[in-house]
Amino acid sequence: MGATLFADVRVIDGTGARPFAADVLVEGNRIARVARHKKRLDRRIATVIDGGGRTLMPGLTDAHAHLSFLNAPTLEALTAMTVERQVLETAKNARLLLDHGFTSMFSGASVRPRIDVAIRDAINAGDIPGPRLLACTKQMTVTGGFGDLGQGEREIGEHGYAIVLNGPGEFRLACRKAARDGVDTFKIVPSAFAMGSRALVAEDTVMSDAEVAAVCEVARQRNRHVAAHARSADAVKICVRNGVDVIYHATLADEEAKDLLEAEKDRVFVAPAMGLQYARLHEAEKYGVRFEGIARRRVEAELEIVSAVMRDLHRRGVRVLPGGDYGFQVTPHGRNALDLQFFVELYGFTPLEAIRAATQHGGELMSHAGELGVVREGALADLLLVDGDPSKDIRILQDRNRFDAIMKDGVFHKAPPVAASLRVAAE
Ligand SMILES: [Zn+2]
């Protein structure tokens, strides 16, 4: 593989550091050199991309992805299509996300047991374009928990988008089967849905400590991740104490829960995953959806609570990552970078901190700490050449047309015009 030189770029390196002017050389699938200006690299050794002062930054990570959710209006509609069609549509989404600058996706549930696995393997084999993907199970819930679409005598069993399990034995068996199938992440739902019938935000914790412990035990044995939909304070505590490594929502985290998260901040990740809620308030009309009355007030209340919690966790140094249920009608795939905007608007992140969350911290989430999501010598070459400066306007990252180049693992998914092709033949 030849070398590529991004010449004269403004580097946002993903660590939160201020942008700096540099030349960046990629050799194979790694960043070989980062030469700050005044030390320009030899133009003759590589294919030269004239950066012209544009921004070079790491590819983005979504921490709560659902590639197999096909922009459905409801949870029931998630499984409305045949498996065969769903696999093909998921492959299209994988490409779409890469088109939008997302070079890594941490899945927060697959709609059927092995779709994520098949898509991940096809991407890794080079059969289809797509981001690096960590494959997830279906959402694992309990009877009456969030995702159990059964009612009365009618049990949904394994036929909904979630799988309904009860007791540590059933969870352990499901996790062992999922590990056999090759998933990277077990997704559990220890707390109830966002909107409870008794309160603005549901406080119920529906999985037992023993059930969460069983999932974490299999994860440790098989070296897998555990991600949990944990809105209640108790759910957050049960998860952190048992070793869950990715906490979604954390909506009602109290002081004790936040202390636990802070104490485990080098191990644990939090993703508030409020993309769907934010979109319901601010984007729904665009998709012809009305969102009013009590439902709207509940979401407004939840966003207010979550914002306060995330500001506090961010201040405490807990890694809070973007990514939030893109794949529904009002959050169609490709809109994922909207999350970075409200990290700035609602959670008090600077644009550079929001970018760090989506890049350096994303690389850590993807189990490539220090070598993914950063522009530094030796790191994997997942890079975006951006027309503009997202450290000044974070919304730029929502516009795929602003990505003049998208590189994953040293290979262009979207190649820029080459200013000067000065390849020197190998000896
Ligand atoms: Zn989700």
Q: What percent of the chain has pLDDT over 70?
A: 95
Residues paired with 30 in a beta bridge: 27, 380
Cα 111 from Cα 12, distance rounded (Å): 35
Average pLDDT over residues 190-214: 78
Q: At 125, is the secondary structure helix, strand, or coil?
A: coil
Q: Which of 340, 359, 345 has the alpha carbon at shortest distance from 11? A: 359
How far is it, in rounded angstroms, from Cα 413 to Cα 353? 26
pLDDT grade for 421, boundaries at 50, 70 and 90: very low
> Distance from the CA of 108 to the center of ligand 1, in angstroms?
6
Q: How confident is the model over 37-41, as a mean pLDDT?
A: 78
Q: What pLDDT score does 419 carry?
A: 53
Q: Tell me, in angstroms, the distance from the centre of ligand 1 to residue 316's CA.
A: 25
Stretch 173-198: mean pLDDT: 87
Give helix 275-282 / helix 338-347 axis angle, nearest 10°. 90
Question: What pLDDT, on the 0 to 100 scale, is given for residue 370?
Answer: 96
- Residue-level pLDDT at 418: 66
Burial class (CB in 10 A: 0-12, 13-18, 19+), 301: middle
Distance in Å, CA 411 to ligand 1 centroid: 30
How far is C-alpha 350 from the geometric centre of its chain's CA atoms? 19
Q: For residue 226, name the pLDDT band (cuts at 50, 70, 90).
A: very high
Q: Compute the distance between CA of residue 352 and CA of residue 29 in angstroms, rounded to an integer.
A: 25
Q: Given a cut of 50, is residue 395 above it in pLDDT?
A: yes
Task: Please tell me the distance between residue 29's alpha carbon and the centre of ligand 1 in angstroms.
Answer: 31
Distance between Cα 31 and ligand 1 center (Å): 33
Average pLDDT over residues 337-341: 97
Q: Name residues whose C-beta falls within 8 Å of residue 54's C-beta, 6 or more positions apart in sequence.
A: 9, 10, 385, 386, 387, 388, 404
CB contact set of 160 (below 8 Å; sequence gap of 6+): 75, 76, 78, 79, 147, 148, 149, 150
Tell me the CA–centroid distance for residue 28 and ligand 1, in Å: 35
Q: Is the pLDDT score of 427 beyond 80?
A: no
Across 74-100, average pLDDT: 93
Distance 43 CA to ligand 1 centre (A): 46
Is 59:17 a contact under the CB 8 Å cutoff?
no
- Residue 211's SS3 state is helix
| Residue-level pLDDT at 294 | 84
Does the pLDDT of residue 424 top 80, yes or no?
no
- In the chain, the percentage of residues whose pLDDT exceeds 90 is 79
β-sheet with 132-134: strand ranges across: 60-65, 102-107, 132-134
Please give the backbone phi and psi of residue 153, each rounded to the nearest 5 degrees, phi first. Answer: -75, -15
Select from 145, 151, 141, 215 the least CA-distant residue to 178: 215
Mean local confidence (pLDDT), 186-208: 76
The stretch 19-33 carries a mean pLDDT of 97
Range 189-196 average pLDDT: 73
Residue 353, pLDDT > 90, answer yes
Whole-number Å distance, alpha carbon 192 to ligand 1 midpoint, is 13
State in Å: Cα 280 to ligand 1 middle.
15
How close is the Cα of 97 to the center of ligand 1, in Å? 16
Average confidence (pLDDT) over 279-292? 89
CA 315-320-321 angle, 5° bins: 150
Q: Averaged over 274-289, what is the pLDDT?
A: 90
Distance CA 71, CA 101 (A): 19
The one-letter amino acid code at 370 reads G
- Collapsing DSSP to helix, strand or coil, 308 comes out as helix
37 against 386, higher pLDDT = 386
User: What domains, with CATH codes, occur in the chain?
Assistant: 3-59+373-421 (2.30.40.10), 60-361 (3.20.20.140)
- pLDDT, the chain, mean: 92
* Angle in degrees, CA 330, 406, 184, rounded to 5: 65
What gap in Å lies between CA 41 and CA 37, rounded to an integer?
9
- Is 145 within 8 Å of 189 (Cβ atoms)? yes
Separation of CA 148 and ligand 1 centre (Å)? 14
Question: Is the sign of the CA dihedral 167, 171, 174, 176 positive or negative?
Answer: negative
Local structure of residue 205 (DSSP, 8 states): B
d(CA 412, CA 418): 12
| Interval between CA 323 and ligand 1 midpoint (Å) | 9
Residue, of 1 and 20, whose pLDDT is higher? 20
Q: How far apart are CA 62 and CA 357, in angstroms?
A: 10
Residue 21 Cα, ligand 1 centroid: separation in angstroms? 38
pLDDT digits (tens, 9 = 90+) for 54-74: 999 999 999 999 999 998 888
Instruction: Flag whether pLDDT at 272 surpasses 90.
Output: yes
Taking the centre of ligand 1 as the mean of its atom positions, its distance from the CA of residue 141, in whole angstroms, is 13
